[in-house]
Amino acid sequence: MFCFTRLPQELIDSILDFLIDDSQSLKASSLVCRSFLRRTRVHLFRQLHFDNFRHFHKFRNMCQASPHIPPRVETLALHSGWDDRKMRDTKHFVAVMSLFSHLRAIKFIHINWELLPQDVRAALSSHAFQRITFHCVTGINASDLFSLVSGSHASLHTLELHHTDVAESQEQSEQSAPHVTNLTVYDSALSPELFWNDTSFLSPRHVHTLDVLLHNMSDIRRLQGLLSERLCPLQHLIISHMPRSTNLLNQLESSDHLQLSGLRTVTVHMWDYHSDVDGAVDQRLLEWWIGNLRQCDEIERITFCITLGVNIGDYAVWNGLDSLLSERRFPALTALVVELNVTWRTTDVASVKQAIESQFNDARVDVILGREG
């Protein structure tokens, strides 16, 4: 193994810090030089992903041989592969969970909650999480969720629900619970006892940042009710219209506006209206959002994340937003960002960027290139 003996360790660590989210490069770097090992291990073990209980047996053996590993784990993802047969012997999972001393976030992906044994649930609830994410989780109810967060009274601030319905439960929890300030709800249903109860840790009165998917008119109505009744001190709103819902866009009327006054930031994820055969449908959605922004007298930042298709055309609809800027409707605004994301390599993104930039005359507008692929 080659070693860079002439480079100071501080410089090596700084270089490797740039690769913090690139696991493949970190793995390759760990094979280059001994002086790379310590820093790469710190980053590689920061996030762990398990898709089977059997892997905990192997990982437990690794931890016994290298006790410095568990304290480095901050995020744990548990993914699928969890059937009844594999969950009968859970001692390794429980043992490994007891070793994590700095676990801050946990993700449950394609998990059937009803199959989790009691000792597994107890091991999970013993940790003080800051962030909990559910993705395609079934069989979970409000009581299960209360139990999971029982050890996170002073720490939990973020809860994400993706394609996960949390049902009502017969048991009513009277214990104190953390107050979630950052809530993500994508194609998920929350029982009234969770979200409309002032004593619940998911009470809207505590939510500062809300990230939601608007896929149908029911989603719009729920958000309208939440915003119009001012049930929460909302400061940051993140909206996604992806995947596209033609039914929603066909039903949407200009009168279906959202009460956005008081917000500090608004972020909207949507398709470019030239990416579909019926591009006029998406164009109406963009026009609807421009109408919504008329009320944002305290807004500090507006971001449109636009995913481009293969077609390009007239981008004059953006001129409506420039008109609002020229009317000085946003005195607190510091930036309006249009981020262009490309899915097709044949898209002439440079031309699209130039076409959108030409619709604005305000110096606070920045059209940038986002992800590709």
206 with 232: CB under 8 angstroms?
yes
Beta bridge partners of 77: 49, 107
The whole-angstrom separation of Cα 160 and Cα 89 is 29
Sign of CA dihedral 78, 79, 80, 86: negative
Which of 25-29, 251-255, 264-268, 329-333 has the least mean pLDDT? 25-29
The DSSP call for residue 345 is: T
Instruction: Please tell me the predicted confidence (pLDDT) of residue 22.
Output: 59
Coil vs helix vs strand at 209: strand
Instruction: Please tell me the predicted confidence (pLDDT) of residue 50.
Output: 87
**Higher pLDDT pick, 255 / 332:** 332
**Residue 317 vs residues 144, 178, 336, 340: alpha-carbon distances, Å:** 47, 44, 16, 16
CA 9 centroid distance within chain: 35
Coil vs helix vs strand at 220: helix
* Whether residue 33 has pLDDT greater than 90: no
Which of 131-135, 227-231, 248-252, 276-280 has the least mean pLDDT? 276-280
Residue 82, CA atoms < 13 Å, CB-side half-sphere = 24
Residue 312's φ and ψ, nearest 5 degrees, are -130, 160
Instruction: Please tell me the predicted confidence (pLDDT) of residue 84.
Output: 46
Mean pLDDT taken over the chain: 81
The whole-angstrom separation of Cα 72 and Cα 96 is 13
* Whether residue 270 has pLDDT greater than 60: yes
* CA torsion angle 317 318 319 322 (round to 10): 150
pLDDT tens for 82-100 read 554 456 678 899 999 999 9
The whole-angstrom separation of Cα 312 and Cα 214 is 25
**Higher pLDDT pick, 330 / 169:** 330
Which of 155-159, 236-240, 252-256, 319-323 has the least mean pLDDT? 252-256
Strands (E), 174-219: 182-186, 209-213
Instruction: Please tell me the predicted confidence (pLDDT) of residue 1.
Output: 45
* Whether residue 274 has pLDDT greater than 60: no
Average confidence (pLDDT) over 47-63: 84
pLDDT tens for 303-354 read 999 888 766 666 888 999 999 999 888 999 999 999 998 876 656 788 889 9
Instruction: Please tell me the predicted confidence (pLDDT) of residue 48.
Output: 86
